[in-house]
Amino acid sequence: MQLAIYIVLALGLLGGIAALLGWWRYRHLPEDEPIVNPVDMECCGQHEVCEKESLLAALSKQIEYYNDEELDRFRGRSSDAFNDDETEEFREILYTMRSEEVAGWVRSLQLRGVEVPDGVKDEVLMIVGERRGL
């Protein structure tokens, strides 16, 4: 009976120490360091939402241009507000780059505040999906 009491007390003490360490670590994380949810990192890649999230999840904040500086004039425009000629301009740039550059290009556009036209999004997702072997 006494052994059971000691085991329960030891487990309670270890649990309290673990909770205290977790609280201390949480309170002392640098403010600019994001808290990463491990579930977010496990994308199955089998559906469009997950694919879109993974395209935008790159950690880099550095903007890289892909000979597409002229697209900056579309900054702030909604993805459904492009006419056919403007959509074709995005499509031409998309099909002149290597498939391994497409995800980086979309990330660059996002960082620059330029949305990909709705008429091109499916093509982007298809290229990135093929590249990832989906």
Per residue in 35-68, pLDDT (tens digit) is 444 444 444 444 444 444 455 454 557 788 888 9
pLDDT at 65: 87
User: CA-to-CA distance for 126 and 134, rounded, in angstroms?
Assistant: 9
The CA angle 106-110-111, to the nearest 5 degrees, is: 120
Tallying the residues shown for the chain, one arrives at: 134
pLDDT at 104: 87
pLDDT at 31: 55
What tokens were used for 56? Answer: 């935008």
pLDDT at 133: 67
pLDDT less than 50: residues of the chain: 33, 35-53, 56, 58
User: CA-to-CA distance for 114 and 109, rounded, in angstroms?
Assistant: 5
What tokens were used for 122? Answer: 């499916």
What tokens were used for 38? Answer: 């491990």
The CA angle 63-65-101, to the nearest 5 degrees, is: 95
pLDDT at 21: 75
